[in-house]
Amino acid sequence: MENIKDQEKCWNELAGTKEFPTPFSMKKFEKHVTPRMKVLDVGCGYGRTLNELHTNGFNNLTGVDFSVAMIKRGLKLYPYLNLIKNNGENLPFPDNEFDSVILIGVLTSNVTDIEQDLLLKEISRVLKNNGILYLSDFLLNHDQRNLKRYAKYEDKYGIYGVFKLPEGLILRHHSIKHILELTNDYDNLLFEKTIFRTMNGNISNGFYYLGRKK
Ligand SMILES: C[S@@+](CC[C@H](N)C(=O)[O-])C[C@H]1O[C@@H](n2cnc3c(N)ncnc32)[C@H](O)[C@@H]1O
């Protein structure tokens, strides 16, 4: 598998131009997390979700992203946000620090089961007991364009649903079963299938998940 440095480089190259359209559901989030709670956005990109939270009165907000260019763009757009460069392997926070962690469109570019497990373990470490995980990402699609690329890259990467974009990014679309296994340490509060527009203007199956740390 291409290494994390290559993925980081790709995201840095995309940071000046890409808009992330995956909607954040404030309504679903606010059912479980209140504005005074401490929230961490992992793979925060240019900070659009944290800014939406800020606009809605949340004021204890932190974001991490391994792309320095994303962090720079975020700090330029929203200088009041606390955005930190970090790749999620060792989050620079103590255990049980946050009331909620947000992870939107990040699993998709950490494609192996091992990378995803480690990321979720590290998130669970910094999340308080009963803390809320808000997770949103892409699901497997069944149209010809996707079926073709899943088949093309399955032999190379050994995982069905992984493919490579012309920009160089390696991405993964997930089965629902995989997402539910990955979030085994959480009580499932919500799993909702939806359709997202992607950063390249295509449409894809996706989901919203909310879980409470056991
Ligand atoms: C599709 S973008 C989504 C950004 C943001 N979550 C949003 O929805 O606006 C994925 C982001 O995750 C970051 N990322 C991917 N893997 C990461 C990792 N292991 N650690 C930190 N950031 C990561 C990328 O740099 C990119 O900014």
Ligand 1 centroid from CA 26, angstroms: 19
User: For the segment 71-119, what is each residue's pLDDT rounded down to a tens digit?
Assistant: 999 999 999 999 999 999 999 999 999 999 999 999 999 999 999 999 9
For the chain, percent of residues with pLDDT exceeding 70: 99
Residue 67 domain boundaries? 4-138+173-213
Q: Whose CA is nearest to atom 10 of ligand 1?
A: 106
The CATH number given to whatever domain includes residue 23 is 3.40.50.150
Q: Give the pTM.
A: 0.97
Task: Please state the φ and ψ torsions of residue 31, each to the nearest 5 degrees.
Answer: -65, -25
Domain annotation covers residue 166? no
- Of the pLDDT bands very low, low, confident and very high (cuts 50, 70, 90), residue 3 is confident
Of 76, 89, 45, nearest to 63 by C-alpha is 45
User: For the segment 148-165, what is each residue's pLDDT rounded down to a tens digit?
Assistant: 999 999 999 999 999 999
Domain annotation covers residue 160? no
- pLDDT for 20 equals 96
User: For the segment 137-151, what is each residue's pLDDT rounded down to a tens digit?
Assistant: 999 999 999 999 999
DSSP-assigned beta bridge partners for residue 170 = 164
Domain annotation covers residue 165? no
Rounded distance, CA 52 to CA 75, Å?
14
Domain annotation covers residue 149? no
Average pLDDT, the chain: 96
User: For the segment 33-46, what is each residue's pLDDT rounded down to a tens digit?
Assistant: 999 999 999 999 99
Q: Whose CA is nearest to atom 15 of ligand 1?
A: 106
Domain annotation covers residue 205? yes
Domain annotation covers residue 154? no
Query: Mean per-residue pLDDT for 198-203?
Result: 94
Ligand 1 centroid from CA 64, angstroms: 9
Q: Whose CA is nearest to atom 8 of ligand 1?
A: 104
Residue 106 Cβ inside 6 Å of ligand 1? The answer reads: yes
Domain annotation covers residue 209? yes
- Of the pLDDT bands very low, low, confident and very high (cuts 50, 70, 90), residue 23 is very high
Ligand 1 atom, smallest distance to 41 CA: 6
Q: What is the DSSP annotation of the chain? A: ---HHHHHHHHHHHTTT--------HHHHHTT--TTS-EEEET-TTSHHHHHHHHTT---EEEEES-HHHHHHHHHH-TTS-EEE--SSS-SS-TT-EEEEEEES-GGGS-SHHHHHHHHHHHHHHEEEEEEEEEEEEB---SHHHHHHHHHHHHHHSSTTEEE-TTS-EEE-B-HHHHHHHTTTEEEEEEEEEEEE-TTS-EEEEEEEEEEE-
Whether the pLDDT of residue 16 is over 70: the answer is yes
Residue 83 Cβ inside 6 Å of ligand 1? The answer reads: no
- Give the total number of structural domains in the chain: 1
